[in-house]
């Protein structure tokens, strides 16, 4: 040693005077210093970003563009509109309504700094992991999102929301923020702001809302598509539960006494849902389906869509939609007379046409008028499929036989065999299908229909009657499932929107997946041939040749026709032949023809859609469907001949 003192290093790493592993383990001073340095960097970065982001000008909701929907041919279907909003001052909103909103959305509103650190962290984590981006925001953050920002869901936009909320909280009073929030929030039913919502739900000004009504409007802020009690029974149940919770929450927060809370025990039912006249006829139902597809594909909400400015290009064919609506109207006028027969009251039709090749929904019938009948009959899962479900049981049996026996001989004449089920389907018999369920198991039948596009929530319990059609798929989903037969065993998921833009920029989420092989081409061809025969029997008239179109038919039978009647018409994979003739050899799906291709004569036609038509009786408020006995008089087969008549009129319409 030269006696000189060794200079101390500013950062002692690797650590002096240590050996082995300890030399490479940072000291507590280094850990603390590193953490402090990181915090300082983050604080500096935040300061730079905070200084860089200014509060933008307020979005003028009333001046925002409408959302425009287009037909498949590119022509405009409807423009949905002018933003329904009326700004009012905070003194025009009763204190009990203000308290209900604060109790429901942000109990610490008057004490917080305008942001929720836990909420923003949770939102960022969810976005990174692909989870839900909603929730966790303060009233100030929601006001900022409503007023200053676009509806995009991204970490960048969330950070802007966070910083602008801090600045707004520093520059505006809590009263100004609350007023802005109440005037810009989405309450559903086309209403932005509490004044418009008061009129939409109760037909009164906001100043006249009582505490019970105010609690329901506060409940809607969580999401009107889930909590508007007029949209569905499930919504009504959720709305009642949240309404009760908010009233109880007012007591907990000290904004309402227990004595006053006890006065509000009856749910304040709002007025019925009303659609704008621009969505009359089938337009409202088409918009409903398009919006559902958009929300599923993009994660946008009704609140986001209500901002306007979107351009939504749909798959809907203008002429087919008009023809389908006219067909239902003609059959109604010709066969139903509610003034003469009580059985003809409350009769409803629902229908949908889906293109086999790619799953495009080209037409639908949702009810008489979307402005007066609010349930979309094309998309309801409340009508048992009955015998329209049985072809899938036959398909499951044929598929299992094909896997087991290949091209070799198959069992014939045994209960539950393919040959036996074909005969049972033609004769409208049920026991062989119950037997088939026992023989192959209900699981394979369920798996097949799920692969073919039916929704799990629409399926009945796996009980003995499952093969008889106790499940209740929508017309859209049943038509989609039947396309599997016409498309060589391939199934393409149904879709209603081809593309979408917002303020000139394309919105992602509309890429189409490849069709999936659900049945072998041979089994699909067998099914098509069988269903063609059923179609000939159902549609032909003595002494008169049936129509040119190839069809597959499925109708309800005596055991299930009491509640519903279905007919499904689909393009054929085989050639066209007349009564008593047989299909020519090789007239099916050929190896040199891709499924979904077509020659215009039904050979694997991918452009001629599959159409499912349902008829049922539904009295508003009744817990179950009404029986069909007597519908249309004694010559309609208990009403079951009406869906085939609709299909025939639809096909023949020009």
Task: Round to whole Å and give the CA distance between 141 and 183.
Answer: 14
Sorted by sequence, the CB contacts under 8 Å of residue 172 that are 6+ apart come out as: 180
Please give the pLDDT value at position 583.
Answer: 29
pLDDT, tens digit, 9 for 90 and up, residues 487-496? 999 999 999 9
Q: In angstroms, how far is CA 653 from the centroid of its own chain? A: 30
Could you tell me if 12 and 30 are in contact, meaning their C-beta atoms sit under 8 angstroms apart?
yes
Task: Round to whole Å and give the CA distance between 264 and 268.
Answer: 9
pLDDT of residue 475 exceeding 90, the answer is: yes
Output phi, psi for 51, to 5 deg: -70, -30
The CATH-assigned architecture of domain 83-275 is: Orthogonal Bundle (1.10)
Pairing of strands 497-502, 505-506: antiparallel
Instruction: Report the candidate in 492, 511, 508 with the shortest Cα–Cα distance to residue 500.
Output: 508
pLDDT of residue 48 exceeding 60, the answer is: no
pLDDT of residue 184 exceeding 60, the answer is: yes
DSSP state of 368: S
Instruction: Report the candidate in 190, 197, 9, 6 with the shortest Cα–Cα distance to residue 93.
Output: 197
Lowest mean pLDDT among 200-204, 321-325, 467-471, 589-593: 589-593
Instruction: Report the candidate in 291, 476, 289, 484 with the shortest Cα–Cα distance to residue 381.
Output: 476
**Rounded (10°) CA dihedral 163, 164, 169, 173:** 180
Lowest mean pLDDT among 162-166, 267-271, 327-331, 524-528: 162-166
Q: E-strand spans in 239-373?
A: 310-314, 347-354, 361-365
Instruction: Report the candidate in 276, 349, 358, 316 with the shortest Cα–Cα distance to residue 607.
Output: 358
How large is the average pLDDT for residues 281-300? 95
Instruction: Report the candidate in 352, 294, 249, 215 with the shortest Cα–Cα distance to residue 499.
Output: 294
Task: Give the global pTM.
Answer: 0.73
Band of the pLDDT at 26, cuts 50, 70, 90?
low
Ramachandran area for residue 218 (φ above 0: left; ψ -120 to 50: alpha; else beta):
alpha
Band of the pLDDT at 546, cuts 50, 70, 90?
very low
**In which residue are the tokens 């290009």 written?**
313
Instruction: Report the candidate in 313, 281, 275 with the shortest Cα–Cα distance to residue 294.
Output: 313
Please, what is the average pLDDT of the chain?
A: 81
Query: Residue 197 burial (CB < 10 Å; 0-12/13-18/19+)?
Result: buried
How large is the average pLDDT for residues 141-163? 73
């Amino acid at each position: 040693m030269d006696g000189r003192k060794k200079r101390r290093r500013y950062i002692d790493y690797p650590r002096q005077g240590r050996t082995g592993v300890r030399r490479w383990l940072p000291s507590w001073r280094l850990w603390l210093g590193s953490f402090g340095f990181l915090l300082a960097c983050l604080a500096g970065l935040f300061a730079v970003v905070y200084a860089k982001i200014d509060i933008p000008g307020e979005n003028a909701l009333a001046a925002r563009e409408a959302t425009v929907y287009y037909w498949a041919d590119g022509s405009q279907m409807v423009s949905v509109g002018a933003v329904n909003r009326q700004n009012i001052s905070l003194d025009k909103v009763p204190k009990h309504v203000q308290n209900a909103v604060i109790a429901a959305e942000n109990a610490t509103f008057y004490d917080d700094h305008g942001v929720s650190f836990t909420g923003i962290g949770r939102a960022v984590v969810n976005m990174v992991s692909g989870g839900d981006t909603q929730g966790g925001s303060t009233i100030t953050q929601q006001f900022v999102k409503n007023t200053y920002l676009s509806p995009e869901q991204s970490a960048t936009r969330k950070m802007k929301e966070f910083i602008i909320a801090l600045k707004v909280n520093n520059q505006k009073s809590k009263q100004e923020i609350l007023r802005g929030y109440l005037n810009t929030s989405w309450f559903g039913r086309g209403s932005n702001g509490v004044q418009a919502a008061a009129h939409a739900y109760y037909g009164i000004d906001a100043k006249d809302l009582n505490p019970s009504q105010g609690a329901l409007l506060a409940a809607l802020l969580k999401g009107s598509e889930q909590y508007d009690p007029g949209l569905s029974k499930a919504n009504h149940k959720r709305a009642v539960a949240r309404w009760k919770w908010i009233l109880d929450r007012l007591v907990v927060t000290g904004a309402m006494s227990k004595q006053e809370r006890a006065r509000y025990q009856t749910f304040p039912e709002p007025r019925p849902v009303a659609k704008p006249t621009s969505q009359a006829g089938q337009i409202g139902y088409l918009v409903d389906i398009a919006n559902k597809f958009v929300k599923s594909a993009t994660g946008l909400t009704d609140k986001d869509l209500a901002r306007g400015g979107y351009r939504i290009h749909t798959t809907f064919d203008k002429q087919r939609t008009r023809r389908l609506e006219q067909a239902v109207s003609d059959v109604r006028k010709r066969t139903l007379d509610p003034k003469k027969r009580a059985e003809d009251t409350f009769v409803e039709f629902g229908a949908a046409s889906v293109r086999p090749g790619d799953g495009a929904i080209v037409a639908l019938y949702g009810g008489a008028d979307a402005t007066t009948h609010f349930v979309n009959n094309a998309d309801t899962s409340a009508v048992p499929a009955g015998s329209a479900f049985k072809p899938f049981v036959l398909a499951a049996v044929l598929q299992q036989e094909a896997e087991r026996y290949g091209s070799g001989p198959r069992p014939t004449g045994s209960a539950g065999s393919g040959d036996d089920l074909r005969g049972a389907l033609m004769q409208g018999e049920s026991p062989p299908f119950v037997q088939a369920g026992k023989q192959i198991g209900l699981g394979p039948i369920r798996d097949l229909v799920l692969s073919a596009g039916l929704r799990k929530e629409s399926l009945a319990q796996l009980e003995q009657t499952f093969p008889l059609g106790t499940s209740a798929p929508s017309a859209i989903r049943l038509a989609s499932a039947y396309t599997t037969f016409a498309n060589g065993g391939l199934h393409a998921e149904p879709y209603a929107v081809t593309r979408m833009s917002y303020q000139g920029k394309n919105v992602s989420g509309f890429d189409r997946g490849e069709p999936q092989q659900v049945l072998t081409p041979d089994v699909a061809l067998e099914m098509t041939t069988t269903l063609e025969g059923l179609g000939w029997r159902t549609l032909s008239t003595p002494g008169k040749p049936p129509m040119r179109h190839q069809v597959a038919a499925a109708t309800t039978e005596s055991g299930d026709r009491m509640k519903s009647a279905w007919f499904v018409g689909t393009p054929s994979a085989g050639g066209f032949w007349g009564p008593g003739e047989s299909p020519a050899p090789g007239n099916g799906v050929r190896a040199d023809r891709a499924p979904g291709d077509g020659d215009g004569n039904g050979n694997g036609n991918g452009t001629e859609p599959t159409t499912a038509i349902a008829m049922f009786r539904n009295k508003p408020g009744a817990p179950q469907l009404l029986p069909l006995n007597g519908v249309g008089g004694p010559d309609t087969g208990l009403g079951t001949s009406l869906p085939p008549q609709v299909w025939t009129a639809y096909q023949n319409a020009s």
